[in-house]
Each structure stands twice: as C-alpha cells, then as structure tokens.
Structure 1
C-alpha cells in the first residue's frame, strides 16, 4: 500500500461530504422557494387557505433549520479538512523522508561493500609470487610473467580497468592490459598520492585508497584506486619493495547502484539518486549530466536525515563503512519533487 493511501481516503471523504452538503443545501433552497410560493397562494386563498399557510410556514422553518445544520456542518468539515491536509502533508513528508533516507543509506552501503572487496583484492594480489618477483628480482621475463598473471586476474574480475605493478622508485614494470593502455608500462607514478601512501603503510594488512578521479593513462576514465605495498617474500611484515595499484571501473558500477535503488516507477519519475564524496562532489547520479558538480548538502552535522528546500525533499545518509573498510566519508542522497509527493490526492 502506498504511503499516501490513507491520506487520500481522508481527502476523498472530505470531498464527498462537501458535495453531499452542497446537494442538501440546494434542495433546501428549492424547498424554501416552494414554501414561499405556498404561503403566497395560501394568502390569495384567504381563510380557506389558512391551514395550508401553516403547513407552508412549517416547511420554511424546517428548511431553514436544515440549512443551518448543513451550514454548520460545512464549516466544521472545512475546518477538519484543513487540519487533515496539514497533518497529512506533514505525515506524508515524514514517511517519504524516512523511506528515502533508508534508500540513500542502502545505496552507499552497497557501494561500500563493493569497495571493501576491492581493499581485500589489492592486499591479496600484492602477495602473489609473480608480482613480488617482478619488483624483487626485476628482469624482462619476470615482469612479463607478472603482466600475464595480472591479465588472468582481469579476465575474471571484470570490474577493473587495469592493474599495475610499480617498483620502489615508482616506475610501472608490469600491467595487465599493455595492449589496451600502452602508455602505462614505464610510467613513473612516484608522485601519485596512492603510491606514496601505500609505500608508507605499516604492514601487509594496510592499504591506500584514493577518491574517484579520472586517470589520463586509462583513457581518462573515472576510477577508484586501491593500492598496497608489495613486500619482501610476500610476508605481512616484509620490507616494501614496490606497490600494486588496482583501478576499479567506477562509472558503470556506480551507475548500476544508483539506478537500482528500490524506488517504484512513479517515484523514479520525480526523484534522483546520488552518491557524493566527502567534498559533496557528485560521483554518481541517476541524472549523469550532473556528475562532477558540487551538491550543497545541508545536513547540520547529522549522519542521516532529510529536509525540505526549494520544493524538494532531500534525504541523505553518511556511509557507515563495512567491516574493516571505514569508507571515505561518502553520502547516499535521494532528492524528490516535494510538490508531487501527494499527486494522487485530490486538491
């Protein structure tokens, strides 16, 4: 049952009541006219019409009484209808706000669960013997073998654009798709934040992650970058020898999440679902033309909630993280057209 079904029924009852009162008032007006005409005719009839005059007067009195009752009833109905509309609009906003806030939370939770897996992938693959050897004992054969291993991973994990192995100086010695991205191998990434943070991690359980950014070496595609230090012997406490960087193909995965939000068809026509980064930059949107713009979220330090502004109801939720993945301070947001919240209710 839709949230506004009960409210619509209340509006319908009020409308029907007003219509029926109007019909009663119209009939009573006709009755009063008939009573007046009857009195006129009784007066013309003189003494022989006296009894009929009494009946006509009584009809007029009864009609007037019913009109008074109908008028009072109408006033009460109008007053209560106004209260119903006020309370109903508030109730509908609360129901919608809570529901859409839950949808916003669900969207950001889904993406964080997905990205938690990426953090697991990078730490695991950084211990692969071929990856370790490519930076521990670098030569053409070992680097080529590492590239083959990375290519095998990419054939199974289709959510990645590429995987890179960089030595301790930041030079990329192996990649998973050298034919598709020929400018990667030999590129120095020592200045990249993800490389520096990964190389500085304390042990093999740690990783580095960068916010969504377009990577010029990957055809300028937006990616979520995860990185982990490649350590001597693949050991947790081994000396860092280089860095493994993995590049999550952000756009199609994120678009699937926002478009898959649990809205019904009517809600989809009046709503948009977004993911925002910690700087309130739109990184996914059911209206993709807005991606990259800043969304001025007014949350007043709240981690979740909703508010109305400019005819819109804005519902939001901060990522709670997932297991060992704390998240990056991202928000799920649902924005809906408030003017159409009760579009099925009568005006």
Structure 2
C-alpha cells in the first residue's frame, strides 16, 4: 500500500510502465516491492554499489539501465524516527529517464515569466550565469555592429559595401542570442514545473505520514478501552481501584512515549485516574462532562468506535497550548457492545511528531540542506495553521491567505501554485488528507512552500 501510493497511474489506475518502488534491508535483499514480477521479494537487488552502502539518512540518485531501459534511480536510507533508530532499510524509486524530460512546457502559460524565473533562486546558478553572459554578448555584438556602421558611414562610398555586412552581423547575433534565450526560458519553466511537482509530492508525504500516525492512535484507544483495570474501576469505584488503574495507565504510557498523558473519566465526567501520577490530584478536581471529547466518547456504541477532538486548548495540560485527544468508551465487563460507563482519553504528543514529519518534508538544496526561507505547515479544516516549521512567518493560529484551490481540496487531492505571503513570493504545494484504512482523517492539509526570490538572513530574522 505504501509503495503504491506514490506511483503514477494511467486512466485505469495501473502503474505506468518503467516505474518501480521497493524496499531493501541492510544486506541489500528486497523485502517489499510494488511489482514483485519484475522486482521479486527475497532476491538481491542489483543496484549501483553506492545505492547499497548509504549512511544513515543519506539520499542519492543516479542513472542506470533497469529492465533494459534508461532509468533514473532515487535511494534513501532510514534515519529512524524519534527514539526509534530504524532497521537500516533503504527505499528505492526507479523511473524511466524519458519521464523526467517527457513534458514539454509552454513558457507563455507559466506562473512566472521566464526572465523573472532566471533571476530567482529556483533556477540553478549555472543557468543564471549563462543568461547573464548571453545578455552581455548580445550587447557586445550590437555595440560592435553599431560602431562598424558608424565607421562605414565615415568612409563614404568605400564604406557602402560594409553596411550590409554589419547589418547581417546584428541579425545573426540577435538570432543566436534569441534562440539561446528561448532555450533557457524553456529550461527555466521546466525547472519551475519540477519544483511544483516536488512540492506537491512533499505535501502528500507530510499528510500521509501524519495520517498513518493518527490511525495508530485510533487503534490504540480502541484496544486499551477494553482493559479490565479500567472497566473494573468504573464498575466498583474506590481509591484502591483508581490507584490500580492509574498504575496500569502509567505502565502503558511508559511503553508509548508519544502520549503526554492518559486519563480515565467516569460517566459523570470526573477524572478518576491518569498515567501522570504527579498530576493525579490536580486532574481529579476537573470535571470534563461538557468537553467535546468526553461527550463523543460516551456516545460510542461498541469497542470498534472511537472519537477524537481536533487540536484545542485543554485544561488537562498545563504546559501545552494545544491538545489532540483520542477517546474510547469503557463498557461493563469489557464487552464489545453496550452503553459506555466512562471513557479513556489519550493526549497525543502530536506536535512533536508533526514537527519531525514536517522537517523531513522541507525542500532541500543540492547539498541536502533545507532551502533558506522554505517552510512546512499543517492547517485544520478551517485553514488555520496548527503546526509549523516557521513560527515567524507561518505562525500557529494564523490563517494564511491561500488560494481556494489549495484550501478547498477534495479528499486525497493535491495541487501547487504561487503564494504571496508577507510580501514574499513562494511556490506552494498542498495536499489534503485521504485517511488511512478505516481512519478517515481530520480534514487537515499539509502545505510546503519555498521562496521564489532569495531571502537575506537579515530580512528573515
């Protein structure tokens, strides 16, 4: 499922010919493949040597012959996730070399004019230098021709024959430089199109990975809600069983460090137990009966259901401005169906996870460093930023003036374009959640931006 998600398909949903995606383990053995008939699992991957010996977190690309076709290969090695070091796996994407150059772009339909692009930081320096050199040469040829015409006129009749020669020099020079300018313009627009597609893909990766994280939270809460410690405490209230439930919550929380706290509330909305034992006395003074997450949890009819309250400020957390709470109903004797006698709520350390994901999706330069001024952020269903890599220009709580096509995306859709924000022009790629398996998502969107023009350190700080 993961390997297929990023593969291009035709109108019938079939992966395009020549495109392959696969995982290899530390020995170079294929452990997962988008096309087992061509790239069989449990076989050794025949790849260039440097694609088999990457450093942690390294990313490289090369050209090679794959299945008899000139292809490009992109390889990345895991760098782990939070405290998880990873298993030393590599991911590989192979695509036809022709696919990189297959789309001819029309400069007249570009978001930015070619001359504007050639002065932007999107275009490689060598192209900019070539463009400047062409402009200099064009001016030099024109000046030489003009001086020649003036000199010929001073010769009188003897210089008449020289005039057409210098005229032709001008025309030939103009033709040569105009063709070079046209070629550079097409290359500039092509570079722009590739950057826009890359931003779309990065935004899709950002929303897909957070969706998978949130799917796991939905699975956790449904499982733990049937734990005997919790339904026993709610059926037979008392300090001893509440303390036992708290200790059980602490054990769970110790194994799942992505949770900031787990709380148990009775049918009246009183917090009776929590995993953070040092907060137990404080939280037991709270009544959450009017909180959306509690009410939604109490309305669940069986253990396959769960509820979630989107990012909100919560009195359950004194050190955080924003909480994301998943909740499951507790039922008598842990039965799968029936009326809820209380709820279990988990407070997910989602902003730490989101930061990690967003930072891995930032556009990088050719040396593997984030592009200066680039940013990544999530917005909720109302278009409000809920997490960001750039709290200065794209602050949490802000509602950036993003075009409707980016804000009103259909489920699972992506798009890219131009954004003017804080008097800075950005390229932007956006993707909306499509959910994962039975998890429908929270209608969040991910946005990745990179500035069109260079941003000085002084201006950015």
> How many Å separate the matches in 1 of 2:217 and 2:294?
16
Deviations 1:159-210 (A, max 9, x none): 1111111111111111111314542124211111111111111211010011
Per the alignment, residue 360 of structure 2 pairs with: 260
> How many Å separate the matches in 2 of 1:316 and 1:225?
25
Rg: which structure is higher?
1
TM-score (norm: length of structure 1): 0.81
Per the alignment, residue 330 of structure 1 pairs with: 444
298 and 6 in structure 1: CA distance in 2 versus 1, 3 angstrom threshold:
closer
> How many Å separate the matches in 1 of 2:184 and 2:141?
25
Q: Once the 2 structures are TM-superposed, how far is the Cα of residue 214 of structure 1 from its aligned partner?
A: 2.3
> How many Å separate the matches in 1 of 2:314 and 2:364?
36
Q: CA RMSD in A?
A: 3.1
1:84-103 alignment, distance < 5 Å? 84=183, 86-103=185-202
Aligned residues: 322
> How many Å separate the matches in 2 of 1:5 and 1:179?
52
Deviations 1:89-134 (A, max 9, x none): 4333322111111111111111111111111111111111101111
Q: Once the 2 structures are TM-superposed, how far is the Cα of residue 28 of structure 1 from its aligned partner?
A: 7.1
> How many Å separate the matches in 2 of 1:191 and 1:285?
30
Q: Once the 2 structures are TM-superposed, how far is the Cα of residue 87 of structure 1 from its aligned partner?
A: 3.6
17 and 184 in structure 1: CA distance in 2 versus 1, 3 angstrom threshold:
closer
| SS in structure 2 of the partner of residue 339 of structure 1 | coil
| SS in structure 2 of the partner of residue 145 of structure 1 | helix
Per the alignment, residue 404 of structure 2 pairs with: 299
Per the alignment, residue 327 of structure 2 pairs with: 227
Per the alignment, residue 249 of structure 1 pairs with: 349
Per the alignment, residue 243 of structure 2 pairs with: 144
Higher helix share: 1
The unaligned stretches of length 5 or more in structure 1 are: 41-52, 342-347
Higher relative contact order (CA closer than 8 Å, sequence separation 6+): 1
> How many Å separate the matches in 2 of 1:10 and 1:64?
35
Q: Once the 2 structures are TM-superposed, how far is the Cα of residue 138 of structure 1 from its aligned partner?
A: 1.6
The unaligned stretches of length 5 or more in structure 2 are: 1-60, 62-99, 101-120, 456-461
TM-score (norm: length of structure 2): 0.62
Per the alignment, residue 386 of structure 2 pairs with: 283
> How many Å separate the matches in 1 of 2:248 and 2:136?
77
> How many Å separate the matches in 2 of 1:119 and 1:208?
8
Per the alignment, residue 128 of structure 1 pairs with: 227
